[in-house]
Structure 1
Amino acid sequence: MGGLEHEGAVGYGRPPVSSRFVKGRSGNPAGRPPRSREQKPPYESVLGQTFTIRDDGVERQVTAIELLLLKLAKRGLEGDTGVSRTLLGLIKQVREEQQASEPLTIILVSVEPGSVAGALERLRMATKLDPYRETARMAIEPWVVEAALERLPAPLAPYQQRIVVDATRMPKKVRWPQWWSEPP
């Protein structure tokens, strides 16, 4: 700006020559401090925290991982198909790991006649087509159909496929297997 400028000038953007970086010498000669082996990654400290939730009027402690899975399950049951597919993939992965390490245990539970429809509605596995009739027809949710098809040991016959399509609430949302021949 019209003034004289010399090499030793000090000011904004021009630190004293003695404190400037020297070529070939590190700006951090001590280097990064070593990481402690006991130090947990940040996600472990977050996911290990406990929270208090109220389940049917009873308070209980859950970890952040359990809380996250409960929230995802709730969204899946509310009809979020993306979350449902993700959860089904996780469940499948966990089951495969468990089957490799543990023997299979079968638990029989008996229910009263007529209580199955109410249980299916409560679990959001099926929807009553006429909510005002006690004996109304039920329609199976798409995510349940997908999960059941993954577990089949052999493909269904075409007449069986038609029954499944007719019993599904939103058949166009189901990812049908490649062998499926009956269109929704």
Structure 2
Amino acid sequence: MDEEDIKHRVIFGTGYGKPPEHGRFQKGQSGNPKGRPKKTTSDLALPDRPTLSAILAIADTMVPVREDGGLREISMREAVVRAAFASAAKGNARSQSTVIGLLQKSDEAKALEIRKSIEIWNEYKRITSAHIATAEKHASPLPKPLPHPDDIIIDYTNGPQFLGPIDEEEQRRLDETLRYRDVLILQDALDHRCSTRLNGQPLTEPGSAGLIAILLERAIPPRLRLSNTQWLLRTMKFETMPKRALLKNLFEASQTLGTPHPRGYVFPNLNSTQRRLGMIFEILRDIRTSGLDPTAMSNEDWEDAVGCIIARHASS
């Protein structure tokens, strides 16, 4: 407030709630001569727009369609879009124009969504990375943001990609996977120290614990993977550890996972593991090629169908 404003208040007694005389409403004159503006269409709530409500209700109803020799239900809106695309593919000019317009709008909406998402996650990475750097600088406990900034890959074409957990449940599963990996590395060290299996059969080939540990390693975020040097140091440490200590550590570690094995347990050999994995892959392939659709089946029917496929492989 400058000096002139202060003088004006002192002389005329104007201020908040007390405008100057020339700026006040005159008696008998409306302060809004044009009246209250009418609601625009976008201001109306859905219940005030019965036609639109009816259209949306119909658009969300499910209709049966025949697909791959079977029936499945899709929404009316999806059925209409499918029909438009089918008509456009047959050469209908009007349908082609409609479809092209839909595609352009969809591409624009997707690009806008990706751009906004990238802005949000870039800012998230900047803030969380700064918090972690500050904690490291002051030797404070490191924050554990979810998702971790190093697990976020900014893909400017498809949007942000997440290589690690984004919530507490996924973090719990990741922690469990890391524990399994560490137990398997211990198990692999024991397998190489054992000359016979529990049943007395000679151990003529390496176990598969190390192989499975490597597979698990590839499934975890890159920031948590062991480097070649770290892997080698662990292996050397376990090789020099007394067998009794190795057995104890392995037993205690497996107990924390809820899957304790008897002391001296040796993992199945590579050939046996390869056969089992091969059967699993064949089962998954048969499920994919069988045309089974879990979304169109009850849980009981789905379990029965998959059970038949598994039984067929088990008996072969």
Q: Greater CA radius of gyration, 1 or 2? A: 2
Normalising by structure 1, what TM-score? 0.35
Normalising by structure 2, what TM-score? 0.21
